[in-house]
Every structure is written in structure tokens, then in C-alpha cells.
Amino acid sequence: MEMLVVVAIIGILVTITVPFVSRAMIKSKVATARTDMINLKGAVQSYQNDYSRFPSGRGAAPNFKGGDLTYHLPIGRKHADGSPQDAGNWSDPPVTPDNNVVMAILMAIDYGANKNHGRNPKKTTYLTPNTADDKFSAGVGPDGVFRDPFGNPYVISVDLAGDENVADLFYRETGVSKGASIGLVRNVDNKTEEEYVLRGSVMIWSPGPDRQVNSKAGALAKENTDNILGWR
């Protein structure tokens, strides 16, 4: 009988402890992601100060007419198991370059867009993130992509238009950001369409713990609720 009581008590303790530990682990990973974003933003800005341009491939074009440049938007992409990263299924999703373009330049690696150090001829190392042995773990993987602790590639948007407003392809959408208190403002300079922007030059974010976004939901709704926003 005493043994049964002990087992019952242990069972209760496990039931109470496991969710607490799980939440603590998620909170720790989110904090790590935010630190990564701060360091990445600082590296991009340092590069910009040195070269008077953003880390991008030669002749890089904006993702939309007159706009800015977003790297590694999860829209239109799939997880390793084949499931879509966008729960909203954005019709005709835009194609964006991987963030390994930015990373090769910032890490002074002779690779891809930075072949022969063409985009970082001074060979300055602006960022030294952890590396990963696979394409699913935190850090820079063998494909050169920088991922958060949940395995999400960091989404990076830069002010290619040079107007001190940066429009991320996902968060510029009215259906996502209109009415949401996430630090963005309506771009009054855009006379052709309504869009939401961040005052500044760099935006970095990730889909967060659930590893999904929803292009048909608000910024603080459904799968977007746990997105990690580097500017908040």
C-alpha cells in the first residue's frame, strides 16, 4: 500500500513538473532566438556602415515593385516532412532567396553570393553564430542557412528602397498587420497601396515554436501568435 502511495505521488509530481519544464525550455529558446536577432541585426547594420549597402547578392532586386528585400519568407515553403509552413495557403506565393546569401557575406565565407569574397572584399567577419550538423537544428547549417532554436530559418528584410522604412513581405500585408499592436505603422508614403512597415532599416523574425505562419490571419491570431519578432 505504501508503495502505491509513493507511485501515486510521483505520478502527480511528474504531471505537475513536465508542463512547467516544457514551458521553461520554450521560453529559453525564445530568448536565444531574440539574442540571435539582435546580433544579426547589428551585423547587418555594421556591414551597411562599412559598405554603404546591405548584404545582398550583386544586382539584388526588391521582392515587389519599389519595395524592399525579404530573405527566407516561409510562405510557399515546406517542412522536411512535406507539410506547408503557411497554414493560410497564400495563393501565388512570392519566391524569396534563402538567408544563406546574407550569412555568407556577414561570415566572410567564399560561397554563393559572396564567391571570391566579392560582396565582402575586406573579409570582415561581422557575425560568428553557432554551426549545426544538419538542416533542422539551431545555428548555421551545412546549407549556410541560419536557423533559430526551433529549426526555423530567420526571416530577414532590409530597406532596399532606402527610405528608412522596411517592409517585410509577410508583415506589410494589411490582413496581417492592420490593427495589430506589433510596432508597425502604415506607410503613408505609399500612395498606391496600403502597407505596414517598421521605421528603420532591418526586420528579423521567425515562425516561433509552432514553426508555422498563417497568411490569412492577423499578426496576433492563430499560428502567428507565437511568431518571434525581433523588433518587439
Q: What pLDDT was estimated at residue 18?
A: 58
| Average pLDDT of every residue of the chain | 90
26 contacts 19 by C-beta, under 8 angstroms: no
Q: What is the pLDDT of residue 99?
A: 96
Distance from C-alpha of 47 to C-alpha of 55, rounded to nearest angstrom: 7
User: What's the pTM?
Assistant: 0.89
Alpha-carbon span 180 to 170, nearest angstrom: 14
* 118 contacts: CB under 8 Å, gap ≥ 6: 58
Is the pLDDT at 12 greater than 90? The verdict is no
pLDDT computed for residue 168 by the predictor: 96
14 confidence band (pLDDT: 50, 70, 90): low
CB 179 within 8 A of CB 171: no
Residue 140 CA to residue 151 CA, distance in Å, equals: 10
**Which is it for the CA torsion 115, 47, 70, 154, positive or negative?**
positive
139-148 pLDDT per residue, tens: 999 999 999 9
Question: Could you tell me the residue ranges of all domains in the chain?
Answer: 2-229
Per-residue pLDDT tens for 57-111? 988 888 887 789 999 999 999 887 788 899 998 988 888 999 999 999 999 999 9
- E strand segments, the chain: 69-71, 139-140, 146-147, 155-158, 165-166, 185-186, 196-199, 202-206, 228-229
Out of 80-89, 122-131, 149-158, 203-212, pick the least confident. 80-89
Cell of 55: 548584404
* 14-23, 46-55, 161-170: least confident range: 14-23
pLDDT at residue 17 greater than cutoff 70: no
Look at residue 95 in the predicted model and tell me its pLDDT. 86
Mean pLDDT, residues 181-194 taken together: 87
pLDDT at 9 over 90: no
Q: Which tops the pLDDT comparison, 20 or 162?
A: 162
- Residue identified by cell 528585400 is 69
pLDDT at 60 (0 to 100): 87
- Residues 156/203, Cβ–Cβ less than 8 Å: yes
Least confident stretch, 12-16, 41-45, 100-104:
12-16
For residue 8, the surrounding DSSP H or E stretch is helix 2-51
